[in-house]
């Protein structure tokens, strides 16, 4: 089993929205490295830290799981979509997505709080200049975060 941190802007899709959607398609990823994580790394059952980004207080807002393998992101083919890619074709899609199921909303584990935990010092989301919407999380980081989320 692998673990991931997946960022979403809460005004686009929040943890509450995710909880209301049984299998949430994680569409619109337009970074090759993040796409490769979905396409080549994610498996059904992998753990996901649902992270709110680009908001007043970014941080982990919930826990989810991957519920599908990667498949073509249909928004790349739709000229009316802000995620449209004229170079993508049905025969050669450039962008992939997976489905995610939100398991629970958690207390907000803020970016500021994450930075204070020595065991998380190497977490990709905390690296200077890290802007990827999907990043791997080690098993040790996952366990540390789960313990932090259980604290009140």
Domain span at residue 50 reads 3-150
d(CA 11, CA 47): 23
CATH (domain of 143): 3.10.590.10
Share of the chain above pLDDT 90, in %: 94
Into how many domains does the chain fold?
1
Q: Is the dihedral of CA 145, 15, 8, 61 positive or negative?
A: negative
Instruction: Give the confidence band of 33 by pLDDT, cuts at 50, 70, 90.
Output: very high
pLDDT in tens, 48-71: 999 999 999 999 999 999 999 999
d(CA 65, CA 83): 24
Residue 152 has pLDDT above 80, yes or no: no
Alpha helices in 73-116 (DSSP H): 111-115
């Amino acid at each position: 089993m692998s673990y991931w941190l997946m960022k979403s802007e809460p005004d686009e899709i929040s943890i509450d929205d995710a909880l209301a959607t049984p299998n949430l398609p994680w569409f619109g990823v337009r970074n090759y490295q993040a796409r490769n994580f979905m396409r080549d790394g994610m498996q059904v059952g992998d753990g996901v830290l649902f992270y709110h980004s680009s908001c007043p207080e970014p941080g982990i807002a919930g826990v989810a799981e991957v519920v599908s393998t990667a498949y073509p992101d249909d928004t790349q083919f739709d000229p009316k979509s802000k995620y449209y890619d004229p170079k993508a074709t049905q025969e050669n899609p450039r962008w992939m997505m997976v489905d995610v199921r939100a398991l629970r909303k958690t207390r907000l584990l803020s970016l500021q709080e994450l930075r204070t935990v020595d065991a998380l010092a190497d977490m990709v989301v905390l690296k200077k200049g890290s802007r990827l919407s999907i990043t791997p999380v080690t098993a040790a980081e996952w366990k540390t975060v789960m313990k932090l989320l259980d604290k009140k």
